[in-house]
Structure 1
Amino acid sequence: MAPLADALLALARRDLTSFHALPVSHEGSLRDSEIRERYLALYGAAHLAADVSYSGAMLDSFFRPRGPLLQAQRLAAQAFGADHTFFLSGGTSTANRVALGALTRPGERVLADRSCHQSIHFALPGLGVEVDYAPMRACCDSCPREFGDIRRLLEMYAEAAAEGRPYSTVVLSAVSYDGVRYNLPAILGALAETHPHVRVLVDEAWGAAHNFHPDLRTLTALHTSRMLRRSGEGRQMEVAVTHSAHKSLSALRQGSYLHLIGSEEMHERAAQELFQLHTTSPSWPVLASLDLARAQATAEGERLLRRSIDLAHTVRHEIDTDEKLSAFEVLGPDRHLLDSSMLVADDPTRVMISLKNLGISASDFRRQLFEEHDLYIARECGDAILLHLHIGVDEKAVQRLLQAMRTIQGNRRRASSAFSGGTCDQFIIAYPPGVPIAVPGEHLDEGRQRLIASLRTQGREIYTLRGRGPAEPLQQPSPRRD
């Protein structure tokens, strides 16, 4: 059941003409246009028919919904375990601003996780609150990830309460870009025990899907809040949770959920903030995708997430056991084991991979994957990259990635043979300036090898050329991992 999506689909199927706005809707402004085919190639006739500007009784009111949008938001609240859920088409940056406006009051104190998203940092100064930041900390020597120092955050919260100047609101970034998850049962439990009237914003931008798998659900904010409420500990706590739905569910970009657990006053304050901060022209296709994403996650989420976890395990296993992937190394603390000292855990759908033994920068590796293998990886952390095995990644895609990694490693191994010393049988040329470092017959000694390595770090391109023939890019050799 997807009431908003179904209502929008019914309107898209009608031959409607609008005398209000959105000339492109139903291809109205494109019928005699020379660029109509490009519109259709990019968006398709179905999307153009569904992108409408109807409101009120014709579809629903965005700010005071009474029809299919209200039904869809109620179904989402039920699926996620919230008291109320808002759909937003302006992204989670807007959702975070709406949540902060609903939770805070001028003159109050706010304790914020330093690792939170920029939208939170930008919004806090304009709210008339006093803000303190808990510091960040590194994961471990072998892993470049950083996240909030939760132990210190809880200490700061307890110290403020003991001084009689408690923080009214705490902001947490609980599911990070780099795949770090906070132990929210322990954290929210400690906050409620210290000062039960606290309000909490939990930014779970990357974790909307986690609510639909039994093993991942236990660390989510909404599940934790329900458990605390049932136990009596969190009865007076008010919690807002934001989800950037397109990051982990089948929603369109800029689709965001704002979930609330708390009083009706909190709900009304959020509705007022939404009215002030959200565009008055929301994207109905984006809002309908939030309805569909919830419907799919409810019906299929556990199965899809189980596949994601299994595929992440496949990547780790192949890297650990396949000699053709020996230049790669999986990073991270004790995989998927909750670290009781840091109050964090790994997201099992993420895999961080070191490239330091491959002899290629993370940016060059990403470029090769994209340009030569049609694979895209967004995140690089120093000499490591991060894979997100989301529900849109299947077995075929993972095998394609692993084969690309084998190919890149093999090419690196072959290229490294030119640095084996002895007599050079080819030209080795740095560009710029285009002057050979070595010509056929010269000895490729350690000095020349060091020069090649130095020029590469300066951004020079190194080529090899065997007489009359095409030049091939040559890269610095990669040391083999035992």
Structure 2
Amino acid sequence: MPQPSSGPRLGTAPLADAVLAVARRDIASFHALPLSHGGSLRTSPFREVYESLFGTAQLAADVSYSGTMLDSFFRPRGPLREAQRLAAQSFGADATLFLSAGTTTANRVALGALVAPGSRVLTDRSCHQSVHFALGDMGARVDYAPMRRCCSDCPRAFADLQKLTDMFREAVAEGRPYDTVVLSAVSYDGVRYDLPRLLPRLAVLHPEVSVLVDEAWGAGHRFHPRLRELSTLHTLETLRTAGKPVPARVAVTHSAHKSMSALRQGSYLHLAGDSELPERATQALFRHHTTSPSWPVLASLDLARLQGETEGEALLERSLRLARTLRSEIETDTRLSAYRTLGSEGHLTDPDLLVTDDPTRVLVDIGELGITAADFRRVLFDEYGLYVARESGDAVVFHIHIGVDEGTLLRLLDALRTLQRTYRSTSAALAEGASDHFIIAYPPGIPIAVPGEQLCDRTRGQLDALRTSGCEIYTLHEPRSTAPREPDRSRSEGSQLATAAKGTE
């Protein structure tokens, strides 16, 4: 990979170097038709569309070479092998495999290496569907640990790890221990498992246990000292150094693109423990993975690891700071009073739960706006260019990943303030039983209520039905109102957040 003309050396990304070198050559293929250099599109009227979607670099890098020409995917001996070695070293694994078919496949490969047909498996019920389906296909005897909620005020749910431990202990006492335990240790909603406490408990009870930890949402955590502490591989390193018991075999899956600068479907499979585990994983990889891997996706895993090593801590520190800022603004800005943070940082303080918060996630209740979470997400996307994927009841999850900067957070805060002005008065009017605004549904644009009108249950039902049918609900002051218009941004833009945003321009 080319180095900058000055400044410190950034390190190496051997697989990215190799793919880039091949992409730069004018190679004609008599094998499969890759998009390499767009050979099939040179005179096509569709070439411009391809280039607009994928770029000329992607057309050049999407190659179909293997073996000695680039490297063997299933038995690497060249740059892929070196890239995987560097990744294992960086993450703290004994061995690491790159996959270009997503963590759905990585979970299947990991289970194929860990679980023998008919063996007993204790599974975290909150695991990804790929785990449940794979175990069913393998004929494993599966028991599920029950779920529990954070609290009545917070919709987050996770495995009851105390009950999981009790089930594991009882199985050992009965002489039929579980061979494998599957954990989903970093949840979509912002819950992390206390693996430094959980893993030794399992190892003491049954030293030969295998453990699969799905850390799909936590790949980047490795590169920040605060987030690293609960990660699986750091936990194993720490326990080994202290001479404490660890499970005999551990596999960790990382959906890299969720928290690192990797292409979608790029996944790491990390292995630790049994010296035969890497070979079993390679065999499972051959059974489950496509034989036509995407070399750009694999190269992006190499680059993502390198960025994590060189910039990860600083980028994640920014994420933690911006997440704190979002929580603080919601809790203190009166123009954001319709919103309420749930499960805020430090909320999960009961040590018996064996879980803690992911501080890069901010769970926000939007119920007082008077619109559904689905409508809220749609308005953010359509009108403000902001995407939120997760909703739970009246709550949505904001993931403050390393791609969110100060300017992006300012855009979100401005949007939240505008939405509060637009929608909250309707909700307040419904709660108070009278309206001092026009409440108008569009279509058709006819007022449902006018200023001074009492709102009855029939009106509320009508509004609910209109919302469900897809209508937009607007509240407006009377035209003669002289109420000053509230500005989009407060004077707090002189704050550190705005100053930092200006510094990035």
CA contact (8 A) 1:421 1:443 kept: no
8 Å Cα contact 2:179/2:208 also seen in 1: yes
Where in structure 2 are the equivalents of 1:27-106 lying within 5 Å? 27-106=38-117
Distance 1:41 1:171, change over 3 A: same
Aligned counterpart, 2:462: 455
Residue 356 of structure 1: CA displacement? 1.5
Residue identity matched to 1:119: S
2:351 aligned partner = 340
- Residue correspondences, number: 462
- Residue 313 (structure 2) pairs with residue 302 (structure 1): yes
Residue type at the aligned position of 1:55: S
- For 2:200, the equivalent position in structure 1 comes to 189
Say whether 1:146 aligns with 2:157: yes
Match of 1:369 among 373, 380, 400: 380
Match of 1:446 in 2: 455
Residues 167 and 15 of structure 1: CA distance in aligned 2, closer, same or farther (over 3 Å): same
Deviations along 1:230-265, one digit per CA (max 9) or x if unpaired, are 333335621000000000000000000000002221
Q: How far does residue 217 in structure 1 lie from its aligned partner after superposition?
A: 0.8
Three-state SS of the structure 2 residue aligned to 1:145 is strand
Q: Is the CA contact (8 Å cut-off) linking 1:362 and 1:385 kept in structure 2?
A: yes
Give 3-state SS (helix, strand or coil) of 2:97's partner.
strand
Letter in 2 for 1:209: G
Distance in 2 (CA, whole Å) between partners of 1:315 and 1:203 is 28
The counterpart of 1:133, out of the listed 124, 144, 151, is 144
1:220 aligns with 2:245: no
- Report the TM-score, using the length of structure 1 for normalisation: 0.91
Q: 1:279 aligns with which of 290, 298, 306?
A: 290
Q: How many Å separate the matches in 1 of 2:437 and 2:103?
A: 58
Cα distance in structure 2, aligned partners of 1:92 and 1:462: 38
The answer to whether the 8 A contact 2:100-2:298 is kept is: yes
Deviations 1:406-438 (A, max 9, x none): 011111246579878889996956868x88656
CA distance in 2, matches of 1:148, 1:161: 20
Deviation of residue 69 (structure 1)?
0.1
Q: Distance in 2 between matches of 1:95 and 1:405?
A: 38
Mapped partners of 2:197, 2:298: distance in 1: 34
Q: Distance in 1 between matches of 2:191 and 2:439?
A: 48
Gaps of 5+ in 2: 1-11, 480-505
Provide the rounded CA distance (Å) in 2 between the counterparts of 1:407 and 1:387.
Answer: 18
Contact persistence 1:92–1:243 (CA under 8 A) = yes
Mark the runs of 5 or more structure 1 residues left unpaired by the alignment.
470-482
**Displacement of 1:25:** 1.6
Q: How does 1:76-475 map to 2 (within 5 A)?
A: 76-234=87-245, 237-332=248-343, 335=346, 338-413=349-424, 437=448, 444-447=453-456, 450-458=457-465, 459-460=468-469, 461=471
User: Counterpart amino acid of 1:444?
Assistant: E
Residue type at the aligned position of 1:451:
R
CA gap 1:416/1:232 in 2 versus in 1, 3 angstroms: closer
TM-score by length of structure 2 reads 0.87
C-alpha distance in 2 between matches for 1:309 and 1:346: 12
**Residue 170 and residue 309 in structure 1: after superposition, are their counterparts in 2 closer, same or farther (change >3 A)?**
same
Cα drift, residue 126 of structure 1: 1.9
Contact 1:430 1:455 in 2 (8 A): no
RMSD over aligned CA atoms reads 2.3
Contact 1:5 1:289 survives alignment (8 Å): yes
Letter in 1 for 2:47: R
User: Paired residue for 1:480?
Assistant: none
Contact 2:90 2:305 in 1 (8 A): yes
Larger mean CA deviation between 56-65 and 337-346 belongs to: 337-346
| CA deviations over 1:339-376 (Å, ceiling 9, x no partner) | 31211000000000001222121111111111111100
Write the deviation string for residues 394-415 of structure 1: whole angstroms up to 9, x where unpaired: 0000010000000111112465
Q: Is the 1:225–1:239 contact (alpha carbons within 8 Å) kept by the matching residues of 2? A: no
Offset, 1:266: 1.1
Match of 2:8 in 1: none
Aligned in 2, Cα 1:141/1:424: closer, same or farther, shift over 3 Å? closer
Cα 1:423–1:305 shift into 2, 3 Å? closer
The one-letter amino acid of 2:188's match is Y
Deviation at 1:338, TM superposition (A): 4.5
Letter in structure 1 aligned against 2:69? M
- The superposition leaves residues 129-165 of structure 1 with CA deviations (integer Å, 9 ceiling, x where unpaired) of 2111111111111110111110000000000001110
Identity %: 62
Amino acid at match of 1:455: Q
Measure how far apart 1:222 and its partner are. 0.5
Aligned to 2:26: 15
Between the aligned partners of 2:336 and 2:235, the Cα distance in structure 1 is: 40
- Which letter maps to 2:226? D
Shift of 1:128: 2.8
AA in 2 matched with 1:259: H
Superposition deviation, residue 10 in structure 1: 0.6
Measure, in 2, the Cα distance between the counterparts of 1:411 and 1:428: 12
Moved more, 392-401 or 101-110: 101-110
